[in-house]
Structure 1
């Protein structure tokens, strides 16, 4: 997976997170996105154990991602642990001094993140066909990952990218893991709101945590929200919501077809064993997609109106 850093050009920053910045760039004539791991402003402040841990996490992400090949997974081109030979340009196209940081090179997708797409369409109602197509793309990508015994562990609209023809690809495998029956995962991982209750409460979890997160994403796509499944709670309140987190779910609007609402409900079942496998979700969505009456199913009559409120699951 090692690329030739001398053939990589890094340009403007297009996104930044807590642990990485993402830049537009080019590699051997191909337009790419470059994820550069951010340690801190002064790498000399890192202890050897901290630096080793970052390096280990970086290599783990690359090794999980590199052999994946699916139309709904962003393609990893390669990576390098040393950026000193890379040509960095600032916003005035002047070469700036590079720093020695590991970076990951991925295909560049023109459509941006699904979160940005939803934000740009806020207040509009996406056509049901688009909702189902988005959901199918995500479900097929996740089903593929699970068939390879890989758990994404941070499924959210920020980590879903759109192609120029509006197809979705899953990206960012920074916290992804191979599912190993001999290893028990119990640590809290992922993003609040999308995080499955068993992960939030630090209980044993498996690939079904991705299914829960998918259900939240599907709801978000349907109502054209912008990544705030719990809008009435502050981040601090969400982090300390305790047992109530396990019982809260987004409210499904009355306009939602019953068949699609059932997919959401099954995916965010409080019991992981009650959630379907992603390949089953694909089948359910395909059945809706092929039905001429997909948008004319029985609507909800047991829930109050409103897209941004929450209710306790029954």
Structure 2
């Protein structure tokens, strides 16, 4: 039998799952509708939740592989906090994250399955077996990613951010650790909404929020802020972070290498230092330098970023021209040696026998482009 708190994963077998909690004693509860206001379809019943090995840990939560109603999932368990003030703050953060996850769905956002607040605060999402973008890049070093792969990943990230911003949400913590890959390593999804906030809130938002190396300069102040003091910024902080992530994808190096996190943040905020964009194609150089401009208002939005990335992809791998549809009309008759006749003839093998085109033969870049993007 297990206690009401989460147990560490078993040491004997990583594939073994244990019950999240034992049956609660009479009078106890799993969650309260008054405390946790979420549509009932998103409420997770802890009795059907099983926990496996731990797969990640941060300052505010631990993440485990698990199962929920026979579905393999990721289980994020948020730390409760020690003091009443800390508990209240973390409950508020939990509620915001769950509300945003349940409201926004996109193919490049991690899929939300549900949440519960008792016996501990838990968020359940799909499990992405490809690991983090950080781990993927580290495994590639010292080699760089193929440029088309790097730009393809950047497009996935930009589309996720465009979706969030269209719903008035700022992520505020865009970095490789919060980007997850599918098992086939072909798609990137954005995760961890723990620091995400509504941009439309009338209150000023907390400064120095995020991870130093990827934080936008406006998250700092030339005058040290007193504890709890607020300052204003907008969704363009995510464009800056995106530029740093894109730089990493293109170089497969840590940005501001040789500096500590604080030194990198200071250099970016107070000396306008950026990673070098030299030796990059002009189009990619423009994307980077425009996204990490010191003036946040001069940075492009993610719709513009997506278009710039697509334009660059077109220059390095333009789609094949489509055959005019008119040659496929029923009444079309082509002379025996007419240009284009061969395109309508079956492919022949060495013996001259017509050979049907198979499903797995190449269909051209344009077909693949539409499938991937």
User: TM-score normalised to the size of structure 2?
Assistant: 0.68
Name the SS of the counterpart of 1:180 in structure 2: coil
Q: Does 1:272 align with 2:296?
A: yes
Distance (whole Å) between structure 2 residues aligned to residue 186 and residue 56 of structure 1 = 14
Work out the number of aligned pairs and report it: 268
Q: Does 1:174 align with 2:198?
A: no
Distance (whole Å) between structure 2 residues aligned to residue 248 and residue 212 of structure 1 = 13
Give the superposition deviation at 1:242.
Answer: 6.8
Alpha carbon RMSD of aligned pairs, Å?
Answer: 1.8
Distance (whole Å) between structure 1 residues aligned to residue 52 and residue 116 of structure 2 = 17
Query: Corresponding residue for 1:146?
Result: 165
Q: Where do 1:1-314 residues align within 5 Å?
A: 1-39=42-80, 46-83=82-119, 101-165=120-184, 166-180=186-200, 182-201=202-221, 203-225=231-253, 228-238=254-264, 241=266, 245-254=270-279, 256-292=280-316
Distance (whole Å) between structure 2 residues aligned to residue 236 and residue 135 of structure 1 = 26
Structure 1 residues 2 and 265, CA, compared in 2 at 3 Å: closer, same or farther? same
Structure 1: gaps (5+ residues): 41-45, 84-100, 295-314
Distance (whole Å) between structure 2 residues aligned to residue 206 and residue 184 of structure 1 = 10
Name the SS of the counterpart of 1:9 in structure 2: strand
Name the SS of the counterpart of 1:247 in structure 2: coil
Query: Corresponding residue for 1:305?
Result: none
Name the SS of the counterpart of 2:293 in structure 1: coil
8 Å Cα contact 2:128/2:182 also seen in 1: yes
Name the SS of the counterpart of 2:152 in structure 1: helix
Give the superposition deviation at 1:190.
Answer: 0.4
Distance (whole Å) between structure 1 residues aligned to residue 80 and residue 282 of structure 2 = 47
Distance (whole Å) between structure 2 residues aligned to residue 156 and residue 244 of structure 1 = 18
Distance (whole Å) between structure 2 residues aligned to residue 25 and residue 175 of structure 1 = 24
Give the superposition deviation at 1:293.
Answer: 6.3
Structure 2: gaps (5+ residues): 1-41, 226-230, 319-373
Distance (whole Å) between structure 2 residues aligned to residue 52 and residue 162 of structure 1 = 33
Higher relative contact order (CA 8 A, sep 6+): 1
Give the superposition deviation at 1:19.
Answer: 1.1
8 Å Cα contact 1:186/1:205 also seen in 2: no
Give the superposition deviation at 1:2.
Answer: 1.5
Name the SS of the counterpart of 1:193 in structure 2: helix
Distance (whole Å) between structure 2 residues aligned to residue 243 and residue 224 of structure 1 = 20
Name the SS of the counterpart of 2:55 in structure 1: strand
Name the SS of the counterpart of 1:250 in structure 2: coil
Distance (whole Å) between structure 2 residues aligned to residue 236 and residue 262 of structure 1 = 27
Distance (whole Å) between structure 2 residues aligned to residue 245 and residue 138 of structure 1 = 28
Give the superposition deviation at 1:49.
Answer: 2.8
Structure 1 residues 110 and 196, CA, compared in 2 at 3 Å: closer, same or farther? same
Name the SS of the counterpart of 2:212 in structure 1: coil
